[in-house]
Structure 1
């Protein structure tokens, strides 16, 4: 997939001022340090990167914008928690830029770092129908996911059957996902439709992003999913010296 570096895109969201259920805190509004490592790793690889944000100051954005990484202000919609709202942001942006984007990844911004350019890897190039994503060293059927998916289980009639079918399969992690734009755009649209229909009224302490992502990936894309090496390091092992994967996820 040789081409201009601007054909490829990495996106991340940094939404602050809203209680973060995963960190049990509210992030400071204008703290560039939380996105710095992501931004620097993307710029070092000379890939186009976009950080969507709702509270970074104009000065911060101007200071850290460069030839590769830019900042785009957004209006946060509290109908959805930040973990879910980001997918609508990515979908809307990609809809406007799909024709000029051949490959795309969307990732967490504060705990994911780019290690190697995925778009130059033959394993990406030669698998145009794949959905590449992160994963965890545990099965889908685990206590956290059972709690996380309580709301979706009540909303989606087939959800419990899906959990039983794929319970022993690897838990996929939506902190890293991407693919060739022609396929990934459809995946994003379906993911947003799931959240619009089933997750807008989620009043639980869990965001539902992992539940909806795994449900969609396993039920509609199970033969197209590629996770683990070369996509991601082992989640939460903090493998800072590892250089054989595209992304390091904690």
Structure 2
């Protein structure tokens, strides 16, 4: 536990996490055998789960998708000796829940082809809604000069952005902030200009990864057009063409989970930027469904239907357009 930590929660509800832990223990030099066992163990232990003698909380179809989608992460762990934190926060630290957003105007918006003129009013709707629920909002920005309040904190970040994309830069900003604030328990990383908190999500969250979505299927023409230069993403879109399109404007969960997700997102974006383009919708869907398949929650509990401008929902935590 001191050397390699515990289970990797990114495996979610089922599959591979025990192999991952054994790999890390072995690669750290803590055992001479990767999967140690005793002679004749099949006569000592009868696994009802393995022999399907008991019911499972994971359906056969869900298990099929988890095996396929988690295989990449499991194979990567074969040479890993990394430490995986297994506690929700440092012992004795006071927990806090926060909403993070970014407001980055130093570089042009590659989706719209324009440079944003800083205007603090753009964040007014999000700010008011978070304050209304008594929650804390942290704005990571490169252009504002606003005083902090009891519930709103403004943090200036260095202007920049890998490969000229603020869509990539925001994941780096979120990752750095979460890395530097281990006192955070739960967090949401949200778009700043078209998102509104309708209900307080924090009391109802667990250890899963919550994301936004859209009514369209994954493999829509817009996605193919934006990411057509990446063979990896095109194959992913083709293989998963009928699944719901996830939207990167809403990402929430435990600090440790979201911290890792932000790092994985930034790594994927900058590694594949030249082929995949400067937008992050394709990488978001790829990383979420490939590396976090067992953890994803989306739907009307998380957000209203995209672009419906629904402010009266009593079911959804967030309105996203």
Q: TM-score, normalised by structure 1?
A: 0.85
1:134 aligns with 2:212: yes
Summarize the alignment of residues 62-77 of structure 1 with structure 2, pairs less than 5 Å apart. Answer: 62=147, 65-77=148-160
Structure 1 residues 222, 45: closer, same or farther in 2, change over 3 A?
same
Structure 1 residues 39, 107: closer, same or farther in 2, change over 3 A?
same
Structure 1 residues 110, 139: closer, same or farther in 2, change over 3 A?
same
Is contact 2:111-2:279 (8 Å) kept?
Answer: no
Summarize the alignment of residues 145-184 of structure 1 with structure 2, pairs less than 5 Å apart. Answer: 145-151=223-229, 153-154=230-231, 156=232, 159-184=233-258
Question: Aligned to 1:147, what secondary structure does the other structure show?
Answer: helix
* CA distance in 2: counterparts of 1:23 and 1:228, whole angstroms: 27
Give the structure 1 partner of residue 99 of structure 2: 10
Question: Aligned to 2:212, what secondary structure does the other structure show?
Answer: strand
For residue 48 of structure 1, report the CA deviation from its aligned partner.
1.7
Give the structure 2 partner of residue 54 of structure 1: 142
* CA distance in 2: counterparts of 1:209 and 1:5, whole angstroms: 33
Give the structure 1 partner of residue 259 of structure 2: 185
Aligned residues: 229
Summarize the alignment of residues 94-109 of structure 1 with structure 2, pairs less than 5 Å apart. Answer: 94-97=178-181, 99-109=182-192
For residue 17 of structure 1, report the CA deviation from its aligned partner.
4.3
Give the structure 2 partner of residue 19 of structure 1: 108
Q: Tell me which structure has the larger Cα radius of gyration.
A: 2
For residue 212 of structure 1, report the CA deviation from its aligned partner.
0.5
For residue 160 of structure 1, report the CA deviation from its aligned partner.
3.2
For residue 5 of structure 1, report the CA deviation from its aligned partner.
9.3
* CA distance in 2: counterparts of 1:18 and 1:193, whole angstroms: 20
Give the structure 1 partner of residue 125 of structure 2: 37
Question: Aligned to 1:136, what secondary structure does the other structure show?
Answer: strand
Question: Aligned to 2:180, what secondary structure does the other structure show?
Answer: helix
Which has the larger strand fraction? 1
* CA distance in 2: counterparts of 1:177 and 1:73, whole angstroms: 21
Give the structure 2 partner of residue 83 of structure 1: 167
Give the structure 2 partner of residue 210 of structure 1: 281
Q: Give the CA RMSD over aligned residues.
A: 2.1
Give the structure 1 partner of residue 68 of structure 2: none
Which ranges in structure 1 are unaligned for 5 or more consecutive residues? none
Which ranges in structure 2 are unaligned for 5 or more consecutive residues? 1-87
* CA distance in 2: counterparts of 1:5 and 1:46, whole angstroms: 17
1:221 aligns with 2:292: yes
Is contact 1:133-1:172 (8 Å) kept?
Answer: yes
Larger RCO of the pair (alpha carbons < 8 Å, separation 6+): 1
Give the structure 1 partner of residue 62 of structure 2: none
* CA distance in 1: counterparts of 2:120 and 2:279, whole angstroms: 27
